[in-house]
Chain A
Amino acid sequence: MARNAEDNSQNMTHIIAVLVENKFGVLAKVASLFSARGYNIDSLCVAITQDPSISRITIVTRGDAQILEQIRKQLSKLIDTIRVMELPAGEIAERELVLIKVTAPKEKRAEVLQIVEIFRARTIDISAEALTIEVTGDEGKIRAILELLRPFGIKEIVRSGKVALTRGAKTLKSVKN
C-alpha cells in the first residue's frame, strides 16, 4: 500500500541539541519529560561542554511537526534548560562512534581487516577469535560497515548515539530561544 506524505512525516527523524545546567538530576528530568509525554528517544548522548557548568544533550527522536514543536517547547520549559534547537538536516556535521566486536578467526581476519581499511575504521583489540573495531561516521557509513561485517558474526556492539554540530561559525549558545 502506498503511504502518503503525512505518514512519512510521523516517522521523520530529528536531531535535537539541548544545552543544560550541569547539575544533579537534569538528565532524569529530560528522560522523565520524554516518558511522561510519550515521545520517542532513538538515541541520547550527554557530556559536559567547554564550559564545565554546562552539559550538551543530543537527542535523536521521531515525530511529526506538531510533536517536534511540543518536544522543543516542553524542553525549553525545564528550568535547567539553557538552549534548545533542532539541528537542521543538511546543515550539520553529524557523527556516531561504534565499537564492534566481530568474529574473526585466523582464516577470516584478512578479509575483515580489508573492510576496516576501506571504511577508514581502526582495529583496537585483537584476539585469536575476534577483532574489536572502532568506526566513526554518519548514519550511512555505520549502516554500510555493519552490513558488511554481519556475515562474519557480530558478537557485541556499542554505539555512542549521534552527536552533531551545525556547520559554519554559528553555535547553539548564540541561537535565541
Chain B
Amino acid sequence: MELTGSQIVIEELKANGVEIAFGIPGGAIMPFYDEILKSGFPHILARHEQGATHMADGYARVTGKPAAVVTTSGPGATNIVTGLCNARMDSVPIIAITGQVATPMIGTDAFQEADTYGCTIPVTKHNWLVKDPRELQTAVREAVRVATSGRPGPVVIDFPKDIQTMTAEYIPHRTQETVPAGDIHNDAPELDMQAIDQLLEAIERAKRPIIIGGAGILKAGAAAELTEFARRTGIPVINTLLGLGGFPGTDPLSLGMPGMHGTAYANMALCECDLLINLGGRFDDRVTGKVSAFATKATIAHVDIDAAELGKRVHTHIPILGDVRDVLLILNTQAKERDISAWQDQIGEWKREHPLQYDRDGSIKPQHVIEQIQEVSGGNGIYVTGVGQHQMWSAQFLRFNEPNSWVTSGGLGTMGFGLPAAIGAKVGRPDKDVWLIDGDGSFSMTLVDLATAATYNIPVKVAILNNAYLGMVRQWQELFFEKRYSNVHYPENPDFARIAEGYHVRGFDVKDVDQVRSTLEQAAEIDGPVVMNFHVSKEENVWPMVPSGAGNSEMQLGPPVSEERT
C-alpha cells in the first residue's frame, strides 16, 4: 500500500498503541498536521512546546503508555529539549516527532533550521533523522519499542518536510511483529539465579533489613509484588521520590522518603540497616547524601533493569540485572517469614520520636494545605507537583496508596513541570481527580497552559502554595549563605486568581487559614479547571534536611515545634 510519509507515521503510531499527540504546528510540520486533521488522530494543541512534552510525560506516568509530541523545526524542536531531558532523567517514554526543513535545505542555515538530531542526542534514549520515506515505518516502530522497553525513555524522530509528502510502500500492521506499546517487560535479561540465591541468603541472615522501592517498581508494574514481599518478610519499605506509590503510604511498614528531605526515621534506618535491598532505584545523590557515609553497615543488594546503574554510585555486594517484577515474583515464592520484631520496634520508636511536623501559628502553613488536599480528595486522586519546597512537602505529607498516582519531576528538577504534567495526567486518566500542588515560582514558568486546560475543559485542580519566594533557594540562602537573599523574592507576584479568570479558569484567592478547607471542597465540586492561590507563610522551611554533600546521619531536624503532628 503506497502512503505518504505523514500517513505512514500516523498509521504506524496507531499500530504500535500510541493513542494521542500533544503539540504545536509550524511551517516545517504542516503536511503532517494536515494528516493529523484528515485522520482524526487525537491531538491536544498546547501553548508552548515544553508544555507539550510535560503533558506527554504526565500522561505516560499515569497510564504507562507513551504519547506523541509534535513540533515544528528550529524553535519548536529546541523548545522540547528541557521536556525530553526531564523524561530521560526519570525514564519516561515519549515519542517526539519534530518537523525539519526539507532534505535539500538541511545544512544551509535555512529558516527555522536547527540541528535537532545533534541537540537531542544527549537528552533522548535514541533518535532518528529520517531522510528516506522507505525508512519511516521501521523508524516509528523502532522508536516506540525503544521508548517503552527495558529502561524507558524519550525518543525523537526528526521528520523533514519533503519526506512528509513523499510516498513509500507501507506494510499494514502485522500484529505478531509489533511490540505493544506500554509493554516494558520485553527485552528482559536472563536473571542471574545465583545472585538471587545470594539475596535470599542475605535476607535470612539479616537482622536489620530495609527495602528501597524506586521508580522501577512502578515502571515494572510491581507494586503489588513489592507489597506482598514486604508484608511477607516484614521488611520495612522506604520509597524514593519517584518510587512513592509503589508501596502503600499508610502501611505500618512504610517509612516514606529517604535522603535530603526524607523522613528522619527513613534516614536513621538507612544508617543502621545491615541489609539494604534497592529495588529499581538508582541511588541518586539526593537519596545517598555523601556516598562514603551511606548505609555503611549494610550488605547492599541492587536490582535494576539498566546494567549501567549497578555499581554506578554505590558499591553493590549483590547486583541483580533484571526486571524488578520478575525478581520479586521469585522472591515471593522463596523468601521465608522472619522475626525481625526488634528492628521493627526500633523503627517504630524512631517514628514516634521524630515524626514529620510543623508549627501552627495561625498563618496558612503549606503543609496544612497539603494535608487538607489529602483529606478532601480522599487520597484517591492523582497528585502532581512543580519543583521546590512545595514538592518536598507534598512528598512528605501526602500518603499514596496506589501506584502511578504521583507525578513529579525527580532527576532533572524541572520547575514549570507541574501544570502541563497535570493536564497530561488528566487526559490520560479522566476518571481520576487530578490535583496540582505548585509553587508560585514553578507555576509562573508554564502557566500559559491554563489556556489549554480551559480550551479542552481539562478539570485540573491547581493549588498554588504562594510564598512570594523561590522558596527552596531562599531556604538554602538562609541556611548556607547567612540569609543573604539574592534574587529569590517575588514581591510583586501577579494576582494568580485573576490571571486564572483571564484564562477563563475559576480562580480563588485564599489568605485566611479558615478558608483553606472550604475552598478545596468547592474546587473539588467544580466541573472544570480551578486555580487556588494560597498565601502561605513566607519563610517556612522544609525539614528534616541533609545538607548538600553531607552524610544522611548529619540530618538536621529543624527547630522544635509547639504542636507535633505525624
Contacts and interface: CB of A to CB of B under 8 A. Distances in A.
B121 A69 contact: no
A76 B151 CA distance: 13
Contacts of A29: 121
Contacts of A122: none
B504 interface: no
Contacts of B125: 79
A74 B146 CA distance: 16
A77 B124 CA distance: 12
A67 B306 CA distance: 16
A36 B308 CA distance: 15
B129 A76 contact: no
A127 to B, nearest CB: 37
Interface string B115-136: 0011001100111010100000
Given A24-B131, A36-B122, A76-B308, 12 more contacts: A25-B117, A25-B127, A28-B121, A32-B121, A69-B311, A73-B307, A76-B307, A77-B306, A77-B308, A79-B126, A79-B146, A80-B126
Interface string A3-19: 00000000000000000
B336 interface: no
Contacts, number: 30
A76 B309 CA distance: 12
B404 to A, nearest CB: 25
B312 interface: yes
29 contacts: A24-B129, A24-B131, A25-B117, A25-B121, A25-B127, A25-B129, A28-B118, A28-B121, A29-B121, A32-B121, A32-B122, A36-B122, A66-B311, A69-B311, A70-B308, A70-B312, A73-B307, A73-B308, A74-B308, A76-B307, A76-B308, A77-B306, A77-B307, A77-B308, A78-B126, A79-B125, A79-B126, A79-B146, A80-B126
Interface residues of A, number: 16
Contacts of B127: 25
Interface string A32-74: 1000100000000000000000000000000000100110011
A105 B312 CA distance: 56
Of all A-B residue pairs in the complex, the 7 with the closest CB atoms, nearest first, are A73-B308, A79-B126, A32-B121, A36-B122, A73-B307, A32-B122, A74-B308
Contacts of A70: 308, 312
Interface of B: 117-118, 121-122, 125-127, 129, 131, 146, 306-308, 311-312
Nearest to A74: B308
A29 B125 CA distance: 10
A66 B308 CA distance: 11
Nearest to A77: B308
Interface in A116-131: none
A176 to B, nearest CB: 11
Contacts of B121: 25, 28-29, 32
Contacts of A74: 308
A70 B307 CA distance: 9
Nearest to A31: B121
A79 B129 CA distance: 15
A32 B121 CA distance: 7
Contacts of A25: 117, 121, 127, 129
Contacts of B146: 79
Contacts of A80: 126
A159 B71 CA distance: 43
Contacts of A76: 307-308
Contacts of A77: 306-308
A170 B306 CA distance: 28
A161 B164 CA distance: 41
A15 B125 CA distance: 25
Nearest to B145: A79
Nearest to B312: A70
B261 to A, nearest CB: 27
Contacts of B307: 73, 76-77
Tell which of B126, B129, B131, B146 has the most Cβ of chain A within 10 Å: B126
Nearest to B127: A25
Contacts of A36: 122
A77 B307 CA distance: 8
A78 B307 CA distance: 12
Contacts of A69: 311
Nearest to A79: B126
Nearest to A25: B117
B470 to A, nearest CB: 28
Nearest to B151: A77
A74 B129 CA distance: 22
Interface in A132-176: none
A36 B89 CA distance: 13
A14 B312 CA distance: 19
A69 B312 CA distance: 9
Nearest to A24: B129
A76 B129 CA distance: 22
B379 to A, nearest CB: 38
A32 B127 CA distance: 13
A65 to B, nearest CB: 10
A28 B117 CA distance: 10
Nearest to A78: B126
Nearest to B307: A73
Contacts of B308: 70, 73-74, 76-77
A25 B306 CA distance: 23
A142 B410 CA distance: 50
A76 B306 CA distance: 10
Contacts of A78: 126
A24 B131 CA distance: 10
Nearest to B155: A79
Interface in A90-137: none
A86 B341 CA distance: 48
A25 B125 CA distance: 14
A154 to B, nearest CB: 35
A76 to B, nearest CB: 7
